[in-house]
Amino acid sequence: MSQLHPAVSSRDHISGDTSAPIVLVEYGDYQCPYCGAAASIVQGIQKRFGKELCFVFRNFPLSMHPEAQNAAVVAEFAAKHGKFWEAHDALYANQRLLGGPFYVQLVKSLGLSEADLEQSLQKDEFESRIREDIAGGERSGVNGTPAFYINGEKFDSPGGFQDLEPVIEELLRPTR
């Protein structure tokens, strides 16, 4: 099994407490339909397991998806202003709308500046951040999206991300 490299740190997008019994890391692509399907499952898992689970998201835009990189930039732009999770959820909920007009609408709905977003896109302000996520994913054995790691171990299951909830339930059983 592949190990997560680098380990979860304060540079990550973290929802929950990193000392939770389960730390679930996803490498995702905002335009990937499988990631879109996984997003609702992850949200359900977060609700079900609450404080027992910490969720971490890392960017892994695939070149086959023409809007994946820009969507990651929009998410990072929102993160800079403390609105990462709102942007993350909206990008997945509106995958079919990804593109300039939607990004403008999203940024405005978050109370952020459209001009600042445009400037970030032109300056490639978040390029190195996104590249670091991709490089970490490659070191960790990511070869497609979504790719999940549970407590630092790559999650591989014949049922794919559909099996996340029962696997997490089983891992939590000894702690309950």
At 125-159, the pLDDT tens digits run: 999 999 999 999 999 999 999 999 999 999 998 88
1 pLDDT band, cuts 50/70/90, is low
User: What's the pLDDT at 97?
Assistant: 98
Distances (CA, A) of 78 to 18, 60, 140, 141, 146: 22, 17, 26, 28, 21
Number of H helices, E strands in the chain: 7, 5
42 pLDDT band, cuts 50/70/90, is very high
Q: Tell me the pTM.
A: 0.96
Judging by beta carbons within 10 Å of its beta carbon (0-12, 13-18, 19+), is residue 128 exposed, middle or buried? exposed
Predicted confidence (pLDDT) per residue in 62-107, tens digit = 999 999 999 999 999 999 999 999 999 999 999 999 999 999 999 9
